[in-house]
Chain A
Amino acid sequence: MSPFENKTTCKDIAPLLVFYVCEEVSEDERESIRMHLANCRACSEQLAEEKAFHATLLSAPQSADELDGSGILLSQCRSELEEALDDLSAPPLQEHWRPFGWLRGWMALRPVWSGALLVLVGGLAGVQLVPWLEHNSGNTGQALNVRARQPLTPDQLSNMVVSGLTVSPSPGSDSPTVRLQLSAEQPMVLTGRADEPNVRQVLTYMVENSERFDAGVRLDCLDALKAAVRDQQVRLALLNAARKDQNPAVRMKALEALRDTAGEDDVRQVLVDALEHDSNPGVRVEAVNLLVGSLDNRPADADAAPETPEAAPAPAPGEDASFEHVVRVLQELQRRDPNPYVRLRSAAALRQIGPREMQ
């Protein structure tokens, strides 16, 4: 007999009998139980009771047999599970947005009140809404009306397209009123007097960038800028236009715009340049006229001097040089200009300023 067998007592074996019956003991335990049972009557009787109890439990009808012996419950469970899985697999339903659902519900329940409400709303819309819309569309349209308060940005200037330009006289002012329809980042209408800085800025820009704007637009710009010729920026733009604009009408118009300042050196130089280099006879004639006019208006004119010659201011040496240069250019034109009218006009101009030339 092994040492283990010697130690097994009823107290050790009894708790194992439950598991021995349902075959949940180890091989060692099973062997020791068998050996103990062979010599222990009490434990053998307890084992018999355990087996009988176990058999009774197993033989008793189970709830599952009684409650679903036919398998109907199982079928029901399967069907319900499939439906639940369908619900899980299905994409979530998108609820349609139903605006004014409460109003529709209210109207469905109260047809008379609904009819009256609709008539009232329709009447209000007809009386108030339509005139309001007309009024607003007249004011705003598609274009933004700018009262020339904010200067245009360089981007706006570089992107703008002129769709209309109107120059009209301003009552009580030399500076005309300009209405300029532009397509920049958004359509806009620029209105204001030509001497207002922002209007002047746009007009000057258009004169300076002759390649981007139509000659007719440039002519209108020059017409409007004539009153602002004392502004340095405008004056530079006009001088440049007179020298370089590819359109002779624009050059001529630029010279005309400079009429009031023809006696000043930079303008006179432009006039002389026009006489010597401009290919268009009309421009040259205009330059002759302006030069003669400027010479006629000279306050230092000796012929128009007061009776006391001593009191008359002596012409500056540079002024005389300039005058002489003009005379030489005119003489040159009189002799060599290909255009007879220019030659004639130059001769007339020389005669007109003859007394001065004699000095």
Chain B
Amino acid sequence: MQLPRWALAVADENGCWGSSNAALASVTSLANLDERTLVAKAQAGNRVAFEELVRRFDRDVLRLALNLMKRPEDARDVYQEAFLKVYRNLHRFRFECSFYTWLYRIVTNVCLDHLRRRQARPEDQAPELHPNHREEGITDFFERQREHRPTLDPERSMMGQEIKARIAHALERLSPRERVVFEMKHYQGLKLRAIGDALGTTEETVKNSLFRATRKLRNELGGLR
């Protein structure tokens, strides 16, 4: 996992500013530390250790946020809000569960809040970009570069986009909790028990949510094979 260059250059073992080869070696060695040690260091105020923790999990966090929120802006907000909450409340983490579970509890709560707000006030949300209309609205240089990837098969892409659009439409009919459970189960690959831990509920409740979500989706996507 790569640390930003500035962090390698200026951070010492205690997360303080300064530059030396020893500091560089110390920062690099953080990548080899286990999760518990990293958390302990971050709790002691080591900023670099916290950033290492972020880098270990933030890809999954952003993925979950993107899949749930469907909009990069919202996903970015969820990412920022979730990790800032983690940073502010890290001293309260008592190792009673894994850091991963604790982190996901925060992330899913933030996602649920956003989804509920969106459900309550849909007019406040920016319109979701429809896949077929994306090309017309692309103004960002990096967004345009993505379209030139050689791995993309135009025909497969078209079919996939259609299925995705239908699934996305069907997912919109789910409640926020059902969406989170469905996403964490099918796209994050979490076990129901872990999802229950993250949501602060029982495995049985999560099981019921997943069952209802699947039923609704099957009804919505009846002809999808």
Interface set of A (CB-CB < 8 Å, partner B):
15, 18-19, 22, 24, 52-54, 56-64, 66-70, 72-74, 76-78, 80-82, 84-85, 88-89
Contacts and interface: CB of A to CB of B under 8 A. Distances in A.
Interface stretch (B26-34, B68-76, B114-122): B68-76
A52 B108 CA distance: 28
B211 interface: yes
A57 B185 contact: no
A15 B211 contact: yes
Given A22-B186, A67-B71, A73-B62, 20 more contacts: A18-B211, A19-B207, A24-B192, A53-B217, A57-B217, A60-B160, A60-B163, A60-B167, A62-B67, A62-B164, A62-B187, A68-B75, A69-B149, A70-B142, A77-B76, A78-B4, A81-B54, A81-B80, A81-B83, A81-B84
Mostly, the B contact residues are: helix
B66 A24 contact: no
Interface of B: 4, 47, 50-51, 54-55, 58-59, 62-64, 66-67, 70-72, 75-76, 79-80, 83-84, 87-88, 131, 142, 145-146, 149, 157, 160-161, 163-164, 167-168, 185-187, 191-192, 207, 210-211, 214, 217-218, 221, 224-225
Nearest to A18: B214
Contact of A77 (B64, B79, B191, B224): B79
Contacts of B149: 69
Nearest to B156: A61
A60 B164 contact: yes
B3 to A, nearest CB: 10
Contacts of A82: 4, 51
Mostly, the A contact residues are: helix
B66 A68 contact: yes
B34 to A, nearest CB: 22
Given A24-B207, A78-B58, A63 B160 contact: no
A89 to B, nearest CB: 7
A82 B10 CA distance: 14
A54 to B, nearest CB: 8
Contact of B210 (A18, A56, A58, A59): A18
A247 to B, nearest CB: 75
Contact of A68 (B54, B62, B191, B218): B62
B221 A53 contact: yes
Contacts of B225: 52-53, 56
A80 B80 contact: yes
Given A73-B62, A81-B54, A61 B160 contact: yes
Contact of B145 (A63, A70, A80): A70
A81 B51 CA distance: 9
21 contacts: A22-B185, A24-B185, A24-B210, A53-B224, A56-B163, A60-B164, A62-B164, A63-B164, A64-B62, A64-B63, A64-B187, A67-B66, A70-B142, A73-B75, A73-B76, A77-B58, A78-B4, A81-B58, A81-B84, A85-B84, A88-B84
